[in-house]
């Protein structure tokens, strides 16, 4: 999560605190336009050196461009006579001369977001898109971790290090399956399986990163909602495996899928050019998938186990010992009676 | 299906340019054994019938009886595999098939039948059945357990939200397998499967409904208690009626209502033996052993989680 300060002056007086810092970026006021805001950004207007007319115009503009209906005003010289008026006009924060010196930190941002959410809940008939606090908290949580913040698949840079969820997929007993189907039919089966997974995983915004003829590794953005979504989809696939195998993959005998999920850090490379990457997280997910994960189950490493704090997900999992110094959680098998 | 005049003209022209009047009458009788050309046309038997006259009459009668697509299906069959050991190539048939496709049907070359394109519309008669048609049909019946207490004990908006989600789940499972929902009462529904591998489609739709509801209850259900269903699949002859009250008078529908209500436990899908045998082993293995009930032999499918 980033703060973007739009200002006419070349240096903003707003600083980030040292103890609990937050990324603050200064932008020229002329760049404050529709669709100019980056994702996961909260805009602030620095009113220093602005005339009354310019302030009025800029306030209107910032109110219309904001991502989450959240924006604030920075007033290092105390030129705003009636700060409460700003709130009547839709502002969510006001930082006067003293606060500007103190700086902006994450605690203030969290308090601000909670207040905005409460305000939106209280107001009925508000047409604005409701704030997604979970999404924003995800961004804040992500920026707490080492490595670069995930910028989205379009802006991601090969060579940089990011946090990801790694999702491992394999078809159990693939050698046996290959000999039963034959080389050509096995290839068709794997193509159909890839297609099925990619359609199912759309919601979780993941990408197919590495693939062999028996398993695949998907990269999931380091956001709780994406990872939660992929867990639910995997459980759904495990439950419906007989139907999917028969109807979508056209296999006349039972096929078992094995899934594993891990959270960690890795250098990013575009799919197909991942051969030179050296990463503990990638080693771990491959070991977990190949050596510890079991057919008809989703195995989750301790690093990704925070996702199971959600009781709705947690009920599907049980602890399954330790693997390479990490606790492992296996999904319970679905039984047909 | 309302057939356009241009399509009728094209079919007439194709017929009289490709086959003799005598063969046209034979093919018409293949489609409808009760069809009598001379009675319908009023032409005496001793008057010779030209190819044009026969094509004109046959195509018009088929369209009038709502059997135009059935006639084209017979022609496609004759064109591809011949009749009584002889080939009867019909020129221009591809154009007729294309024109029918444009009317919202798709031709399935495996079964040699036209089907309503489900992505465009899903009418209860598939655009093919007529009032009074009798077909072997696989039925799926579902009932929401404790419906009245759900409605009584929860806010209306939440109940509406849940029932609308359930309806979506059922619709997706049924329509995607070329079934049709015939009746949806407050607490239950009846869906029918007439074409393709109807028995397997009905069973797999029932399995998908229970699977999807399981996840809906785990992650999205706003009500304090899970929504529970009883689902039954059964097959038998059905006389299709547009009027739902008349449709419910079919014995097969009465039977499935009994099977669902009296022999199916909550959260279970029951399949009667006449549908179960048509399903492949990979799906059969998900069901319980056969159980004898007063409504015949039944097998059950339900979902559980390992302890």
Q: What is the pLDDT of residues A103-138, one digit of tens each?
A: 776 667 777 777 777 777 665 444 444 555 555 555
Helix or strand holding residue A53 (H, E): helix A52-65
Q: What's the CA gap between B259 and B261, in Å, rounded?
A: 6
Q: What is the pLDDT of residue B255?
A: 95
Which of B124, B244, B245 lies closest to B181 in space, CA to CA? B124
Mean pLDDT of the A141-170 span: 81
Of residues A47 and B140, the one with the higher pLDDT is B140
Q: Please, how many CA atoms are within 13 Å of residue B278, restricted to the half-sphere of its CB?
A: 18
Q: What is the pLDDT of residue A135?
A: 57
User: Which residues of B fall within a CB distance of 8 Å from A247?
Assistant: 204
Min Cα–Cα distance to chain B from A255, Å: 9
Mean pLDDT of the A261-266 span: 94
Task: Indicate yes or no: CB of B208 within 8 angstroms of CB of A245.
Answer: no
Asked if the C-beta of A240 comes within 8 angstroms of chain B's C-beta atoms, the answer is yes
Measured between CA atoms, the residue of chain A closest to residue B177 is A247
Measured between CA atoms, the residue of chain B closest to residue A254 is B282
Give chain A's mean pLDDT: 83
Q: What's the CA gap between A217 and A259, in Å, rounded?
A: 10
Q: What is the pLDDT of residue A1?
A: 65
Q: Which residue(s) pair with B136 in the sheet?
A: B237
Mean pLDDT of the A1-7 span: 78
Q: What is the pLDDT of residue B259?
A: 96
Q: What is the pLDDT of residue A53?
A: 85
Asked if the C-beta of A180 comes within 8 angstroms of chain B's C-beta atoms, the answer is no
- For B198-240, the pLDDT digits (tens) are 999 999 999 999 999 999 999 999 999 999 999 999 999 999 9
Mean pLDDT of the A210-234 span: 93
Q: What is the pLDDT of residue B76?
A: 92
Q: What's the CA gap between B263 and B257, in Å, rounded?
A: 10
- Show Cβ contacts of residue A330 under 8 Å, excluding neighbours closer than 6 positions: A293, A294, A297, A298, A299, A300, A317, A318, A319, A320
Min Cα–Cα distance to chain B from A36, Å: 35
Asked if the C-beta of A253 comes within 8 angstroms of chain B's C-beta atoms, the answer is yes
Min Cα–Cα distance to chain B from A197, Å: 17
Q: What's the CA gap between B240 and B137, in Å, rounded?
A: 10
Q: What is the pLDDT of residue A174?
A: 77
Q: What's the CA gap between B207 and A246, in Å, rounded?
A: 13
- For A312-322, the pLDDT digits (tens) are 999 999 999 99
Measured between CA atoms, the residue of chain A closest to residue B289 is A337
Q: What is the pLDDT of residue B213?
A: 97
pLDDT tens, residue order, chain B (307 aa) = 678 889 999 999 999 999 999 999 999 988 888 899 999 989 998 888 999 999 999 999 999 988 899 999 999 999 989 888 888 999 889 999 999 988 888 887 777 888 888 777 888 888 888 888 899 999 999 999 999 999 999 999 999 999 999 999 999 999 999 899 999 987 889 999 998 789 999 999 999 999 999 999 999 999 999 999 999 999 999 999 999 999 999 999 999 999 999 999 999 999 999 999 889 988 999 999 999 999 999 999 999 998 8
pLDDT at residue A267 greater than cutoff 80: yes
User: With bands split at pLDDT 50, 70 and 90, how would you rate the model's confidence at A14?
Assistant: low
Which of A245, A246, A335 has the CB atom closest to B305's CB atom?
A: A335
Q: What is the pLDDT of residue A124?
A: 47
Mean pLDDT of the A194-215 span: 92
Q: What is the pLDDT of residue B237?
A: 96
User: With bands split at pLDDT 50, 70 and 90, how would you rate the model's confidence at A141?
Assistant: low
Q: What's the CA gap between B260 and B150, in Å, rounded?
A: 20
Q: What are phi and psi of B178, to 5 degrees?
A: 65, 30
Q: What is the pLDDT of residue A137?
A: 56
Q: What is the pLDDT of residue A127?
A: 46
User: With bands split at pLDDT 50, 70 and 90, how would you rate the model's confidence at A236?
Assistant: very high
User: Which residues of A fall within a CB distance of 8 Å from B303?
Assistant: 239, 334-337
Asked if the C-beta of B280 comes within 8 angstroms of chain A's C-beta atoms, the answer is yes
Q: What's the CA gap between A316 and A232, in Å, rounded?
A: 10
pLDDT at residue A19 greater than cutoff 50: no
Q: What percent of chain A has pLDDT over 90?
A: 39
Measured between CA atoms, the residue of chain A closest to residue B204 is A243
Q: What is the pLDDT of residue A148?
A: 65
- Work out the angle at residue B87's Cα, subtended by the Cα atoms of residues B83 and B91, and round it to the nearest 5 degrees: 110
Q: What are phi and psi of B83, to 5 degrees?
A: -145, 130
Of residues A48 and B250, the one with the higher pLDDT is B250
Strands (E), A87-206: 93-95, 161-171
- For A52-88, the pLDDT digits (tens) are 888 888 888 888 887 777 888 888 888 888 888 888 8
pLDDT at residue A18 greater than cutoff 70: no
Which of B204, B219, B305 has the CB atom closest to A243's CB atom?
A: B204
Which of A239, A246, A247 has the CB atom closest to B303's CB atom?
A: A239
Asked if the C-beta of B304 comes within 8 angstroms of chain A's C-beta atoms, the answer is yes
C-alpha distances out from residue B98 to A136, B92, B94, B105, Å? 53, 10, 6, 9
List the single best residue of B265, B270, B281, B282 to mutate versus A (max A Cβ within 10 A). B282
Q: What is the pLDDT of residue A138?
A: 58
């Amino acid at each position: 999560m980033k703060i973007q300060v739009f200002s006419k002056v070349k240096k903003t007086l707003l600083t980030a605190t040292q103890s609990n810092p937050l990324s603050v970026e200064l932008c020229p006021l002329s760049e404050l336009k529709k669709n100019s805001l980056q994702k996961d950004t909260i805009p602030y207007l620095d009113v220093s050196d602005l005339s009354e007319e310019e302030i009025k115009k800029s306030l209107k503009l910032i109110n219309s461009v904001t991502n989450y209906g959240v924006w604030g005003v920075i007033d290092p010289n105390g030129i705003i006579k009636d700060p409460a008026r700003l709130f009547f006009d839709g502002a969510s924060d006001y930082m006067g001369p003293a606060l500007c010196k103190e700086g902006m930190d994450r605690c203030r941002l969290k308090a601000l977001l909670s207040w905005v959410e409460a305000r939106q809940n209280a107001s009925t008939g508000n047409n604005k898109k409701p704030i997604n606090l979970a999404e924003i908290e995800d961004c804040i949580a992500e920026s707490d971790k080492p490595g670069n913040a995930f910028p989205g698949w379009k802006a991601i840079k090969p060579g940089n290090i990011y946090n990801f969820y790694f999702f491992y997929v394999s078809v159990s007993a693939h050698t046996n399956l290959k000999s039963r189907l034959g080389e050509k039919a096995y290839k068709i089966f794997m193509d159909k399986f890839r297609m099925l997974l990619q359609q199912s995983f759309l919601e979780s915004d993941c990408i197919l990163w590495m693939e062999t003829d028996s398993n695949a590794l998907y990269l999931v953005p380091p956001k709780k909602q994406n990872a939660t979504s992929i867990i639910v989809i995997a459980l759904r696939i495990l439950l419906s495996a007989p139907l999917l195998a028969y109807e979508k993959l056209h296999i006349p005998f039972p096929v078992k899928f094995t899934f594993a999920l891990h959270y960690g850090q890795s250098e990013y490379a575009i799919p197909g050019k991942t051969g030179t990457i050296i990463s503990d997280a990638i080693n771990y997910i491959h070991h977990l998938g190949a050596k510890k994960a079991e057919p008809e189950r989703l195995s989750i490493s301790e690093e990704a186990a925070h996702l199971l704090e959600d009781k709705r997900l947690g009920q599907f999992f049980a602890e399954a010992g330790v693997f390479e110094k990490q606790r492992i959680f296996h999904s319970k098998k679905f039984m047909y009676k | 299906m309302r057939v356009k005049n241009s399509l009728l003209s094209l079919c007439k022209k194709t017929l009289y340019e490709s086959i003799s009047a005598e063969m046209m009458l034979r093919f018409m009788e293949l489609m409808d054994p009760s069809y009598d050309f001379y009675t319908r046309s009023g032409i005496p038997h001793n008057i010779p019938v030209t190819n044009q006259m026969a094509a004109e009459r046959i195509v018009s009668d088929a369209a009038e009886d709502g059997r135009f697509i059935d006639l084209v299906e017979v022609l496609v069959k004759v064109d591809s595999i011949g009749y009584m050991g002889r080939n009867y190539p019909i020129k221009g048939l591809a154009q007729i098939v294309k024109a029918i496709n444009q009317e919202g049907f798709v031709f399935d070359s495996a079964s040699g039948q036209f089907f309503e394109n489900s992505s465009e519309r899903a009418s209860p008669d598939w655009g093919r059945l007529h009032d009074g048609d009798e077909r072997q049909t696989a039925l799926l019946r579902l009932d929401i357990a404790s419906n009245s207490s759900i409605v009584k004990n929860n806010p209306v908006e939440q109940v509406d939200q849940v029932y609308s989600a359930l309806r979506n789940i059922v619709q997706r499972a049924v329509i995607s397998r070329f079934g049709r929902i015939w009746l949806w009462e407050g607490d239950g529904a009846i869906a029918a499967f007439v074409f393709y591998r109807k028995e397997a489609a009905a069973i797999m739709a029932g399995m998908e409904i229970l699977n999807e509801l399981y996840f809906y209850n785990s992650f999205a259900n706003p009500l304090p208690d899970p929504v529970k269903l009883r689902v039954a699949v059964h097959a038998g002859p059905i006389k299709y009626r547009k009027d739902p009250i008349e449709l419910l008078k079919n014995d097969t529908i009465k039977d499935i209502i009994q099977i669902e209500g009296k022999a199916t436990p909550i959260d279970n899908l029951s399949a009667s033996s006449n549908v179960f045998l048509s399903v492949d082993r990979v799906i059969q293995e998900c069901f319980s052993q056969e159980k004898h009930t007063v409504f015949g032999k039944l097998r059950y499918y339900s979902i559980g989680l390992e302890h």
